[in-house]
């Protein structure tokens, strides 16, 4: 049964500016979205890597931050933060982020929509196959249709189309098509799907082979039917209720499939798992049962945050900043904070050593302690001014003669060779 995750809409046949995408001025979604989502999202290797990314992104604190002149500070009671925590009655803030990532990865884009209001709004997120975009002669969005609702140019401030980069765009960001982020994995995803389906087919068939049977020396219809019944029992795992088996003189069997050894499916699965995990920015050790040490896992987790999760959250925040621009002040934006994520926290001693090497001889002891407090969130009290306001410098190299020490010769130790004389 076909998995129908997203509801498709009827295609429109309208004229468009010459030289641009033929057949329609509304988006004509080129990818078979339902089929692609079914194959990609349900592929265990793609899903495991995607789930790792989603889980890490959800741990990153996002919301409205305000610039106080020195740094960006999270605004706890901002009305937009209230909306983002509970976008609508059917969706919470964490799931809203997951849908954003899911539509981007598996659909290549999405639509954000907010209801009208000042203190109370609902936020909705639409899959890329659930809306149509209309452009004018300058390729600027002039209208968006969601189901039976149409939003004209002067109503677009409550909507925002978000798109993943598309290599097929003739003008960056101006095309009607969406390109799923994981589309490049379609081929290798099919490889792993084929290996899994092939093995499952053989398991359901009790390990029996598939092939072509040519019957020999069979003179009657009843004998032929009996031979077919016995052959099905031997090759398809069906019980015949009969203990008699065909011998090689009565038939010729030619295999039409591949054995697991010929397919080398286990190695094939390992290969596709590695390709998929690398392409999605997740070390394969995080999504497989292959052995690794705890320290290695911690470093790999940190790498996922830095290389994959944080850049995705940055895109998410930038899209939301544009979407909520009428609800934000000039010194406010949607941003993120990773200071509470354990995998990204540096060891206090490592931070102190780095700061000491960088600031020694440049700032006073109290200034150094203040910077260290800010970097580690540890409250270090200031030293008395007669000591804390001084700058500590590292002394230069000195000659031994200047140390006023007496040098003595070190006596040689008795060796085995010297005692043999």
Q: Residues for the chain: how many in total?
A: 421
Check whether residue 65 and residue 130 sit in a common domain: yes
Check whether residue 265 and residue 390 sit in a common domain: no
- Nearest 5°: CA angle at 301, between 300 and 306? 95
Quick one: how far is CA 79 from the chain centroid? 29
Please enumerate in sequence order all residues whose Cβ is within 8 A of that of 147, keeping only pairs 6 or more positions apart, or say none. 9, 130
Check whether residue 61 and residue 115 sit in a common domain: yes
pLDDT, tens only, 230-249: 666 655 544 444 433 444 45
Check whether residue 4 and residue 83 sit in a common domain: yes
Question: Residue 16's pLDDT is what?
Answer: 30
Instruction: Provide the domain count of the chain.
Output: 3
CA distances from 384 to 367, 376, 379 (A): 12, 22, 16
User: Rounded to whole angstroms, how far apart are CA atoms 415 and 51?
Assistant: 67
pLDDT, tens only, 55-96: 999 999 999 999 988 889 999 999 999 999 999 999 999 999
The rounded mean pLDDT for the chain is: 76
Structural domain containing residue 246: 210-256
Check whether residue 315 and residue 332 sit in a common domain: yes
pLDDT over 50 (residue 380)? yes
Percent of the chain whose predicted confidence (pLDDT) is above 90: 30
Question: Residue 388's pLDDT is what?
Answer: 79
* Residue 136 placed within a domain: yes
Last residue of a domain, one of 307, 324, 339: 339
Per residue in 47-63, is it b (16+ CB within 10 Å) or e — as a string?
Answer: ebbbebbbebbbbbebb
* Residue 204 placed within a domain: no
- 35: tokens are 């089929």
* Residue 332 placed within a domain: yes
* Residue 417 placed within a domain: no
User: Rounded to whole angstroms, how far apart are CA atoms 312 and 333?
Assistant: 16
pLDDT over 90 (residue 11)? no
Check whether residue 166 and residue 90 sit in a common domain: yes
Check whether residue 379 and residue 330 sit in a common domain: no
Check whether residue 119 and residue 242 sit in a common domain: no
Quick one: how far is CA 175 from the chain centroid? 24
Check whether residue 294 and residue 247 sit in a common domain: no
pLDDT, tens only, 160-210: 999 998 888 888 888 778 888 877 776 665 666 666 666 666 656 555 656
> Are 38 and 3 contacting, i.e. CB atoms less than 8 angstroms apart?
yes
pLDDT, tens only, 108-142: 999 999 998 878 899 999 999 899 999 988 888 99
Burial class for 305, CB neighbours closer than 10 Å (0-12, 13-18, 19+): buried
Mean pLDDT of 366-378: 78
Question: Residue 403's pLDDT is what?
Answer: 63
Burial class for 309, CB neighbours closer than 10 Å (0-12, 13-18, 19+): buried
**Is pLDDT larger for residue 357 or for residue 194?**
357
Reported as half-sphere exposure (CB side, CA atoms, 13 A), residue 170 has a value of 6
User: Rounded to whole angstroms, how far apart are CA atoms 287 and 278?
Assistant: 11
> Are 39 and 189 contacting, i.e. CB atoms less than 8 angstroms apart?
yes
Q: The tokens 């960006």 sit on which residue? A: 72
User: Rounded to whole angstroms, how far apart are CA atoms 54 and 309?
Assistant: 8
Three-state DSSP string of the chain? CCCCCCCCCCCCCCCCCCCCCCCCCCCCCCCCHHHHHHHHHCCHHHHHHHHHHHHHHHCCEEEEEEECCCCEEECCCCHHHHHHHCCECCECHHHHHHHHHHHHHHHCEEEEEECCCCCCCCEEEECCCCEEEEECCCCCEEEEEECCEEEEHHHHHHEEEEECCCCCCCCCCCCCCCCCHHHHHHHHHHHHHHHHHHHHHHHHCCCCCCEEEEECCCCCHHHHHHHHHHHHHHHHCCCCCCCCCCCCCCEEEEECCCCHHHHCHHHHHHHHHHHHHHHCCCCHHHCCCCCCCHHHHHHHHHHHHHHHHHHHHHHHHHHHHHHCHHHCCCCEEEEEECCCCHHHCCCHHHHHHHHHHHHCCCCEHHHHHHHHHHHHCCCCCCCCHHHHCCECCCCCCCCHHHHCCCCCCCCCCCCHHHHCC
Burial class for 110, CB neighbours closer than 10 Å (0-12, 13-18, 19+): buried
> Are 160 and 174 contacting, i.e. CB atoms less than 8 angstroms apart?
no
> Are 6 and 127 contacting, i.e. CB atoms less than 8 angstroms apart?
yes
Check whether residue 45 and residue 151 sit in a common domain: yes
Please enumerate in sequence order all residues whose Cβ is within 8 A of that of 231, keeping only pairs 6 or more positions apart, or say none. 213, 246, 251
Check whether residue 381 and residue 237 sit in a common domain: no
Check whether residue 282 and residue 384 sit in a common domain: no
Question: Residue 364's pLDDT is what?
Answer: 85
* Residue 81 placed within a domain: yes
Q: What is the layout of strands, in order, in the sheet containing 61-67?
A: 72-74, 61-67, 332-337
């Amino acid at each position: 049964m076909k998995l129908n995750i997203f509801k498709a809409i009827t295609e429109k046949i309208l004229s468009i500016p010459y030289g641009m995408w033929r057949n329609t001025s509304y988006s004509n979604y080129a990818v078979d979205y339902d089929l692609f989502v079914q194959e990609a999202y349900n592929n265990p290797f793609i899903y495991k890597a995607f789930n790792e990314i989603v889980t890490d992104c959800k741990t990153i604190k996002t919301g409205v931050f305000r610039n106080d002149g020195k740094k960006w500070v999270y605004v706890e009671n901002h009305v937009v933060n209230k909306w983002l925590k509970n976008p609508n009655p059917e969706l919470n803030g964490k799931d809203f982020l997951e849908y954003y990532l899911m539509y981007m990865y598996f659909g290549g884009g999405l639509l954000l929509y907010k209801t009208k209001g000042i203190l109370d709004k609902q936020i909705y997120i639409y899959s890329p196959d659930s809306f149509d975009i209309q452009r004018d002669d300058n390729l600027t969005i002039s209208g968006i249709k969601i189901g039976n609702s149409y939003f004209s140019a002067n109503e677009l401030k409550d909507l925002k189309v978000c798109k993943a980069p598309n290599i097929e765009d003739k003008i960056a960001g101006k095309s009607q098509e969406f390109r799923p982020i994981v589309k490049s994995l379609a081929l290798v995803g099919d490889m792993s799907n084929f290996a899994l389906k092939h093995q499952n087919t053989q398991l359901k068939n009790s390990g029996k082979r598939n092939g072509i049977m040519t019957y020999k020396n069979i003179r009657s219809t009843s004998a032929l039917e009996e031979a077919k019944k016995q052959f099905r029992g031997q090759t398809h795992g069906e019980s015949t209720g009969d203990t008699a088996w065909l011998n090689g003189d009565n038939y010729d069997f030619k295999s039409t499939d591949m054995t697991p050894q010929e397919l080398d499916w286990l190695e094939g699965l390992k290969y596709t798992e590695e390709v998929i995990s690398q392409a999605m920015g997740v070390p394969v050790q995080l999504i497989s049962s292959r052995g690794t040490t705890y320290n290695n896992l911690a470093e790999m987790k940190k790498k996922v945050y830095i290389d994959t999760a944080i850049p995705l959250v940055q895109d998410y925040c930038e899209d939301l900043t544009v979407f909520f621009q009428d609800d934000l002040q000039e010194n406010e934006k949607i941003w993120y904070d990773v200071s509470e994520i354990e995998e990204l926290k540096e060891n206090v001693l490592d931070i102190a050593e780095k700061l000491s090497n960088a600031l020694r001889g440049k700032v006073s002891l109290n200034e150094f302690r203040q910077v260290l407090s800010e970097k580690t969130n540890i409250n270090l009290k200031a030293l008395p001014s007669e000591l804390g306001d001084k700058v500590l410098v590292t002394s230069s190299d000195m000659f031994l003669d200047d140390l006023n020490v007496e040098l003595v010769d070190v006596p040689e130790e008795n060796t085995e060779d010297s005692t043999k004389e």
